[in-house]
Structure formats: structure tokens, C-alpha cells
């Protein structure tokens, strides 16, 4: 088991990197593929990474595959340094390809990550020990008339968009960037 320690150099962790790890980053994946630095099941806690070891953590098309999203979000909070960022991209629930992949275990709406974000009504449900702050919170649409129309409707009211228009003008992905908040003293 490889352990990654914190350093003074900016560090980026790519969770579920597969064979497409960005040069200069640290890759964590379940499989020992070329370029993977840490072979580890992301649903086994704790990860072999020191707390606060990374300035940025990237989870691109990974979280839709996990069972224990609350545990993974807590672990992402632990390994992201205070003031760091966690960049997440997941398929949007209304996009047909979200359901096409048989390994997808969850489907995310615009508000799915509110359960982890301070200041949202869903945060009070206690699903996570740690809180985040939204830095970026957006839907990404295809180019063209349908994409522009979906983005326009979503920009007016995300709830109206999701209730009435998401399947007609579906977004491609949900993209968020989160900043970990310090844990409050109990």
C-alpha cells in the first residue's frame, strides 16, 4: 500500500483516473493501470493519503459509480487541504447516457450535492460529518439551439427546468467545484 504525504508543492489528485491521468497529477484508481500511482478502492476508508495532502482533487465521471457517496465525500474532504478545491463532474440525471452505463449507481440532479454544502436546507439532514462550500455549481449543455434553450430555462429557475424541461432539453453534465469548510468544534 502506497501512502502519499502532504508537501509544500501544489498537488492534484485525480480519483478514478484510469489510463487518462493528467501528467503531473497523482492518480488513484481501483485497477493497477498504466499511470495509476495509488491502487486503492475509493470506498475503503481511509485512503492511503494524508489529510490535507492535495490542493485540488478531481473526480471526473467517477462518483456516479460509487455506493457509499457519503463516505467518499467525507474522504474527499479529508484529503483536500483547507482552502483547496474538489472538482466534480457527473452525468446529469436527465441525459439518456446517465442510464445507458450499467455500472452507474446514482443519478444526480442540480441539488444532489446540497446534502454536503453548508447553507442549504438539505445539509441539515446529517448525511455527512463535513461541510463544503460551492465555488462553481452549474449544468453543462450541448451547443446548438436545444442546448441554449435548456440553459436559458435553467437560468430562470433550476427547479422549473428539472420538473418540466430537463428531459426535453437535457444538460450533459453537472459540474461543481467545492471548497472544504473547517469542521466546527463540538
pLDDT in tens, 134-170: 999 999 999 999 999 999 999 999 999 999 999 999 9
Distances (CA, A) of 43 to 7, 29, 67: 25, 11, 8
For all residues of the chain together, what is the average pLDDT? 93
Residue 70 in grid coordinates: 457519503
Structural contact between residues 93 and 100, judged by C-beta atoms closer than 8 angstroms: no
**Bridging pattern class, strands 54-60 and 80-91:** parallel
Q: Quick one: average pLDDT of 103-130?
A: 91
- pLDDT score of 97 more than 60: yes
Which pLDDT score, from 0 to 100, does residue 127 have?
A: 84
Choose between 34 and 128: higher pLDDT. Answer: 34
Choose between 183 and 138: higher pLDDT. Answer: 138
Q: What percent of the chain has pLDDT over 90?
A: 85
User: Which residues are paired to 140 by β-bridges?
Assistant: 173
Q: Which CATH superfamily is domain 12-141+172-180 in?
A: Vaccinia Virus protein VP39 (3.40.50.150)
Which pLDDT score, from 0 to 100, does residue 10 have?
A: 74
Residue 44 in grid coordinates: 475503503
Cα–Cα nearest to 137, from 94, 89, 91, 175? 175
Which pLDDT score, from 0 to 100, does residue 185 have?
A: 47
Cα–Cα nearest to 183, from 132, 112, 126? 132
Cα–Cα nearest to 56, from 29, 80, 77, 24? 80
Query: What distance, in Å, lies between the first and last C-alpha atoms of the chain?
Result: 33
Q: Quick one: average pLDDT of 72-92?
A: 97
Band of residue 111 on the pLDDT scale cut at 50, 70, 90: very high
Q: What is the pLDDT of residues 40-61, one digit of tens each?
A: 999 999 999 999 999 999 999 9
Structural contact between residues 62 and 35, judged by C-beta atoms closer than 8 angstroms: no
Q: Quick one: average pLDDT of 113-122?
A: 93
Band of residue 3 on the pLDDT scale cut at 50, 70, 90: low
Cα–Cα nearest to 94, from 59, 137, 146? 146
DSSP state at residue 22: P
Choose between 2 and 52: higher pLDDT. Answer: 52
Distances (CA, A) of 99 to 59, 94, 107, 143, 146: 19, 9, 8, 22, 20
The dihedral over CA atoms of 165, 168, 169, 171, expressed in degrees to the nearest 10, equals 90
Length of the chain: 186
Q: What is the pTM of this model?
A: 0.91
Amino acid at each position: 500500500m502506497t501512502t502519499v504525504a502532504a508537501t509544500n508543492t501544489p498537488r492534484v489528485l485525480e480519483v478514478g483516473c484510469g489510463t487518462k491521468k493528467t501528467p503531473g497529477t497523482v492518480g488513484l484508481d481501483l485497477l493497477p493501470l498504466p499511470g495509476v500511482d495509488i491502487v486503492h478502492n475509493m470506498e475503503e476508508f481511509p485512503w492511503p493519503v494524508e489529510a490535507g495532502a492535495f490542493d485540488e482533487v478531481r473526480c471526473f465521471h467517477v462518483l456516479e459509480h460509487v455506493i457509499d457517496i457519503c463516505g467518499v465525500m467525507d474522504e474527499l474532504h479529508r484529503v483536500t487541504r483547507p482552502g483547496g478545491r474538489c472538482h466534480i463532474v457527473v452525468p446529469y440525471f436527465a441525459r439518456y447516457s446517465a442510464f445507458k452505463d450499467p455500472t452507474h449507481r446514482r443519478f444526480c440532479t442540480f441539488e444532489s450535492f446540497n446534502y454536503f454544502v453548508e447553507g442549504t436546507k438539505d445539509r441539515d439532514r446529517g448525511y455527512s460529518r463535513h461541510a463544503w462550500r460551492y465555488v462553481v455549481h452549474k449544468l453543462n449543455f450541448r451547443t446548438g439551439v436545444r442546448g441554449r434553450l435548456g440553459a436559458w430555462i435553467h437560468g430562470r429557475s433550476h427547479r422549473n427546468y428539472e420538473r418540466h424541461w430537463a428531459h426535453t432539453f437535457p444538460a450533459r453534465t453537472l459540474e461543481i467545484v467545492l471548497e472544504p469548510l473547517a469542521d466546527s468544534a463540538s
